[in-house]
Amino acid sequence: MWKLFCAVAVFVGVIAVRVNGQQCTLCADGSASNPNGTIGAAPCSDIEAVIGSTPANSTQCRDVQLQGFLNCGCPTFPGSFCPMCADGFFSIAQPNKQIPILNDMTCEDALFAEIAVENACSDIERTAHFCGCPGAPEPICTLCANGPAPSKPTRRLPPSFTLTCADYSDLVEFSLDESECADAINGTLPIHTSTYCGCVNVSTPVPTCSLCGDAALINADMNVAEPDVTCQELFEMAPFLKDQLYCSALQANFTICCEGGAVPAPTMSPTTAPDRSPQAQTESPSTDLTSGARWHASIWLLCALSVAMVASQTP
Ligand SMILES: *[C@@H]1O[C@H](CO)[C@@H](O)[C@H](O)[C@H]1NC(C)=O
Ligand SMILES: *[C@@H]1O[C@H](CO)[C@@H](O)[C@H](O)[C@H]1NC(C)=O
Ligand SMILES: *[C@@H]1O[C@H](CO)[C@@H](O)[C@H](O)[C@H]1NC(C)=O
Ligand SMILES: *[C@@H]1O[C@H](CO)[C@@H](O)[C@H](O)[C@H]1NC(C)=O
Ligand SMILES: *[C@@H]1O[C@H](CO)[C@@H](O)[C@H](O)[C@H]1NC(C)=O
């Protein structure tokens, strides 16, 4: 959809806006581009030949200059963009990864963002490690400290079950400081996130909750909570819970999920519960972490393809 939009915008820009202002050059600094490069299907030399009809201060010129930097050997990128990676490096390891704090925009789409959008640069720079810029600084927060990514990436986290461990691992990387990190990993959710997600090298908690106790799990596939939460999932999750209230809520499924015994007594001691602060029982954890950082304005996506299309059709 945006490609169509861009095609129209660039077309209108190139055809309609012919003023006697300063003319656009393919390279932002005016130097010669490498004629062997291509933008989309069009050789850089073809783009260079037609781009002079566009005013230098137009967004079309700026977008083409960015493509010149990326594809035509131009030494600089236009100053109104901020690059994700230091020095404008653009060969990132994870181009298709979705960035949770940027409305799931992909890394590739966020490589260069317009500076005009408030906070865009700092938000984009924060994605450098996540997207795999070479030499990017390590994030201050990781779900699995001193170890590889979670080995149970598809497990879903209570109480909302909307985020998987993999999602959560992505999300905590964007913590702004150590206290936000500690909240995300040890505070907000009713579960020991690192161990439930299968991190190695983290201390294993003593299980304090059980769905069935000595009784047998039955109806493993029965759907007992939204969205599609089964007895089996609650059964696997229970030993990792650290919140007594949440444990009790989960055990209310006993008669549906378990057979041949009594509801197990909670084994959590009220005195050993730093986790049971009001914060630990917050019901909507993930929104806390994202809403502040979530981007409230849109980025202008790049128009390489449409620029090339229009340029190759322009005599
Ligand atoms: C671009 O420059 C021309 C001529 O100097 C000016 O009239 C026009 O307002 C400028 N446009 C923008 C978007 O700055
Ligand atoms: C473009 O390609 C030609 C032929 O392969 C080569 O001789 C020339 O050095 C190239 N130019 C640049 C600027 O890389
Ligand atoms: C666990 O931590 C130790 C020391 O921090 C490290 O040497 C080891 O490689 C880690 N194990 C894994 C599987 O990452
Ligand atoms: C979470 O708690 C564990 C155990 O108390 C501690 O080792 C770890 O550093 C904490 N993690 C964070 C991010 O604060
Ligand atoms: C079953 O467990 C879920 C997750 O703890 C809870 O939200 C739900 O209320 C429980 N269902 C019943 C019927 O108690």
List the chain domain ranges: 1-79+295-315, 84-138, 139-205, 208-265
Q: How far apart are CA 133 and CA 207, in angstroms?
A: 40
SS3 82: strand
pTM of the model: 0.66
Nearest ligand (C-alpha, residue 177): 4
State the pLDDT at residue 119: 67
State the pLDDT at residue 198: 95
State the pLDDT at residue 165: 97
Residue owning the nearest CA to atom 14 of ligand 4? 182
Neighbours of 186 (CB within 10 A): 15
Query: Do the beta carbons of residue 213 and residue 264 sit within 8 Å?
Result: yes
State the pLDDT at residue 151: 96
Contacts of residue 263, defined as CB under 8 A and 6 or more positions apart, other chains included, come to 213, 251, 254
State the pLDDT at residue 130: 93
State the pLDDT at residue 6: 41
Nearest ligand (C-alpha, residue 246): 5
Query: Do the beta carbons of residue 37 and residue 73 sit within 8 Å?
Result: yes
Low-confidence ranges of the chain (pLDDT < 70): 1-21, 88-89, 115-119, 266-315
Residue owning the nearest CA to atom 12 of ligand 1? 57
Tell which one of 36, 45, 71 to mutate to probe ligand 2, the residue whose CB is within 8 A of the most ligand atoms: 36
For ligand 3, say whether the CB of 146 is within 6 Å of any of its atoms: yes
Q: How far apart are CA 132 and CA 97, in angstroms?
A: 10
Q: How far apart are CA 158 and CA 184, in angstroms?
A: 13
For ligand 1, say whether the CB of 21 is within 6 Å of any of its atoms: yes
State the pLDDT at residue 174: 92
State the pLDDT at residue 208: 86
Helix, strand, coil distribution of the chain in percent, nearest 5: 40, 10, 50
Q: How far apart are CA 283 and CA 186, in angstroms?
A: 15
Q: How far apart are CA 58 and CA 95, in angstroms?
A: 28
- Please report the atom of ligand 2 found closest to the CA of residue 36: 1
